[in-house]
Structure 1
Amino acid sequence: MKLMKIVLPIGILILGYAGMKGIEVSAADNTAAEKIDTRPTVTIDSLIPEDVRIQLTSYGEVTPLETTNLSAQVSGEVQTWNPKLVSGGLVRRGETLFTIEPDAYEAALLLAQANVASAEAQLIQEKAQADVAAREAKTMPNSKVSDLYLRKPQVMSAEAGLKSAQAQLKLAKRDLENCKVKAPYDALIVSRNISTGDYVTQGSPVAVLNNIEFAEVTFPVAGFDTKFLDANSLGREVVISDNNAEGISLKGVIHRDTGVVDNNTRMSYFVARISDPYAINSNGPTIKFGSYASVTFEGKVLKDVFRIPQELVTNRKLWTLDADNNLHSNKVNVVREDSGDFLIKGDFDPKRVVMNLPEYPQNGMAVKVIENLSDSVTAKAN
């Protein structure tokens, strides 16, 4: 009994120790069998080269093509004025804006017509007398026939008198016509300085008009954008959008290059022209003078560039995979930013571009490629 009491605990200890060692060996075998893959996972995609036409956008203020300080060309009392001749009024080319009392100018026209008739009669008389003198001269010796005898000076004087009378008649007609002051173009009335009964003198300012047949927007193009301008930019169509009114857009053309570069900003300036900005001759949208507008137009076509999200290009490097799924950085040329993407060119494999980088990518780093979700869905469907 005493021997059993000694042997039994020792046996239990031996069996427990053997079981513990067996568990350790089994765990080691499992660990060896389950080798952990520590490579970071990435997805890849293919890039396809494309031709991209650059869209350029700038901004500027809408201004009238011209502003006229209208003045009277004759003096007199204002008889009537057009109800549209008020601030904000719109008038058409040739429309009468106001009239000046015409009596004195009608009388001057009658007097000028009378002077022309008298000068014509005097010329007819002189020519008749010259014809008589010419017939008589045929029977006289040549030594006694002079220009004065033939009445040539008298005829020339009569002709000059007629021309002078005709000139006075022309001026009288013009002055009478100028009693009706008309719009020189389709116009927006800015201000009016006359009222009925006012006496205006020749050259006195009466109103300020803005030309609404055309409007212009002077807009800058930054130095780094000038290289994307098309060689035939002048005459190219632009879209002008009113930033003060949502959805208002009109078409125009690039009319001219101002020909200078700003010394401070190094920007070049171009002028876009809009036809009928106040839609007086159409049912289109209107854009008001003084509006701050955006100008959008097409530039050059970039050929064979790759479009890629900006976050995949760091320090002008793009990462790709080689055949062994190792990372490689590639220097690329960022040609332009476009709608949140980069347009790039470079010498790299466009079929294996890494779309999600590890936290600390290194050249030669081994990675594990996982399928794109779209690829997995397609594979399961097949």
Structure 2
Amino acid sequence: MTRKKQIIIPIIILVSGILIFMALSSMKKPPEEKPEVDNTPIVAVEPVSVGPMHLKVGSHGVVVPKYETELVAQVNGQIVELSSAFVRGGFVEKGQLLARIDPSDYEAALIDAEANLASSQASLETERAQGKVAESEWRKITDALPTELSLRKPQLAQELAHVKAAEARVLRAKRDLERTEIRAPYDAMIEMRSIGLGSYVGTGSAVGKLLGTAIAEVRLPVADNQLQFLIEEGKAASVTLKGTFAGQETQWQAQIARGEGVVDNTSRMSYLVAEIKDPYALTDSSHKPLRFGAYVNADIYGLILASATTVPRYLVENERIAILDSDSKLRYVSVDIIRQDGASLVIGGGLNQGDRLIVSALDYPVDGMALALESDKQDSEESSENSGETQVASVTAAVE
């Protein structure tokens, strides 16, 4: 009896446990179904625009005149006349009188030189006449050939030398008289004047300084590795200068006139020299004045690429860039990097017009992985919501 109890009791307990478990299981509510979550990474893209591109090299410099001249007095004397334009910042034309040194002494010297010349010329004519008389008398006396001394040829040569010396003194006196007038050698602007009315100047005394207004120059430093993007290292390249005039951003057009042909010892830069015609707009008022001493930035135009585009530098890694293909998958494409321009890269090949460039960061990008756009994600969510609303409406109608 005891043995039967030992067998039956565990069976009863086991069956009771199973029944209790089944009862509890039947009372348990089924888990709510959760909507499927789309874990596709969302990215931002920008369309690629490919087309012709004119490469340019940036530089900077200070505007200076191509010609500048230190005026000095070439004769001694007192300043008796000054032009009203001979002031700092004044504009003068070629040949315009700037100052006059007292010409009295030089006019007198010219008169004296001309008188000496006239006297020497008279002596020369007298000596020629005497030579002819001597030759005639010699022939009357004898048929022998006369000597040069008999014909007074040495005396004639001496008088001829006196005439030439007198002519030289006249030329010198005229030149000194002309030098009493200090004139502008070309169209210029007065940078400084160091004389005043009534002041005395000697030969070599500083009078003033002129800056030529016909052509201005700008020395533009260019790194050696940037010369490859210019045609013939920048020879005759077009240049756009950018600066301020009267508080406004202004541009001027210039052209590379020459290269200096050396590398600067300090900056290790090559220098190109750009020229600007009529910088002060004295003959052409279509542009604003470009003043000497102004600081300008420059764009030097070089090679023209038939097909290229610009992308941010951080998007390119190992000469590859990520794009979103037509199947909304990530694809890496190899690109041909032409040059680096600051924070951007110029791409010459590998990208096509309309390619979608991935510009947002991805944690673990893999070639071929599925991606989604924010706009596509929103459209999908709206579609799901609309579908859910339709189903709810249908169930409600069925219940009704």
- Counterpart of 1:362 in structure 2 is 365
Q: Which residue, out of 273, 277, 297, partners 2:275? A: 273
- Counterpart of 2:204 in structure 1 is 203
Taking the aligned partners of 2:243 and 2:357, their CA distance within structure 1 comes to 42
Taking the aligned partners of 1:64 and 1:352, their CA distance within structure 2 comes to 50
Contact 1:44 1:352 survives alignment (8 Å): no
Shift in Å at residue 169 of structure 1? 0.9
Taking the aligned partners of 2:166 and 2:91, their CA distance within structure 1 comes to 40
When structure 1 is superposed on structure 2, of 291-300 and 235-244 the one drifting more is 235-244
CA 1:142–1:269 in 2, change beyond 3 Å: closer, same or farther?
A: farther
Taking the aligned partners of 2:188 and 2:50, their CA distance within structure 1 comes to 51
Give, as a single letter, the amino acid of the residue that structure 2 aligns with 1:219. Answer: L
CA 1:251–1:143 in 2, change beyond 3 Å: closer, same or farther?
A: farther
Contact 2:242 2:249 survives alignment (8 Å): yes
CA 1:134–1:98 in 2, change beyond 3 Å: closer, same or farther?
A: same
Please list, as runs of the form range in 1=range in 2, the aligned pairs for 1:160-309 lying within 5 A after superposition: 160-231=161-232, 233-243=234-244, 245-283=247-285, 284-309=287-312
Taking the aligned partners of 1:153 and 1:255, their CA distance within structure 2 comes to 60
CA 1:306–1:248 in 2, change beyond 3 Å: closer, same or farther?
A: closer
CA 1:39–1:282 in 2, change beyond 3 Å: closer, same or farther?
A: closer
Contact 2:55 2:305 survives alignment (8 Å): yes
Taking the aligned partners of 2:135 and 2:64, their CA distance within structure 1 comes to 69
- Counterpart of 2:60 in structure 1 is 59
- Counterpart of 1:148 in structure 2 is 149
Give, as a single letter, the amino acid of the residue that structure 2 aligns with 1:308. Answer: V
SS in 1 for 2:111: helix
1:208-237 deviations in Å (ceiling 9; x for gaps): 332223222112112332211211733333
Shift in Å at residue 113 of structure 1? 1.5
Give, as a single letter, the amino acid of the residue that structure 1 aligns with 2:260. Answer: T
CA 1:46–1:65 in 2, change beyond 3 Å: closer, same or farther?
A: closer
Larger Rg: 2
Taking the aligned partners of 2:295 and 2:312, their CA distance within structure 1 comes to 32
Contact 1:75 1:200 survives alignment (8 Å): yes
- Counterpart of 1:7 in structure 2 is none
Give, as a single letter, the amino acid of the residue that structure 1 aligns with 2:258. Answer: R
Shift in Å at residue 105 of structure 1? 1.0
CA 1:202–1:46 in 2, change beyond 3 Å: closer, same or farther?
A: closer
Contact 2:234 2:272 survives alignment (8 Å): no
- Counterpart of 1:6 in structure 2 is none
Taking the aligned partners of 1:356 and 1:188, their CA distance within structure 2 comes to 55
CA 1:229–1:135 in 2, change beyond 3 Å: closer, same or farther?
A: farther
| CA root-mean-square deviation | 3.5
CA 1:338–1:126 in 2, change beyond 3 Å: closer, same or farther?
A: same
- Counterpart of 2:392 in structure 1 is none
- Counterpart of 1:336 in structure 2 is 339
Contact 1:320 1:348 survives alignment (8 Å): no
Shift in Å at residue 42 of structure 1? 4.7
**Corresponding pairs, count:** 357
* Percent identity between the two aligned chains: 33
- Counterpart of 1:110 in structure 2 is 111
| Runs of 5+ consecutive residues of structure 1 not aligned to the other structure | 1-10, 377-382
SS in 1 for 2:234: coil
CA 1:363–1:134 in 2, change beyond 3 Å: closer, same or farther?
A: farther
| Runs of 5+ consecutive residues of structure 2 not aligned to the other structure | 1-18, 380-400
CA 1:357–1:147 in 2, change beyond 3 Å: closer, same or farther?
A: same
Taking the aligned partners of 2:96 and 2:275, their CA distance within structure 1 comes to 24
Taking the aligned partners of 1:239 and 1:357, their CA distance within structure 2 comes to 35
Taking the aligned partners of 2:159 and 2:364, their CA distance within structure 1 comes to 104
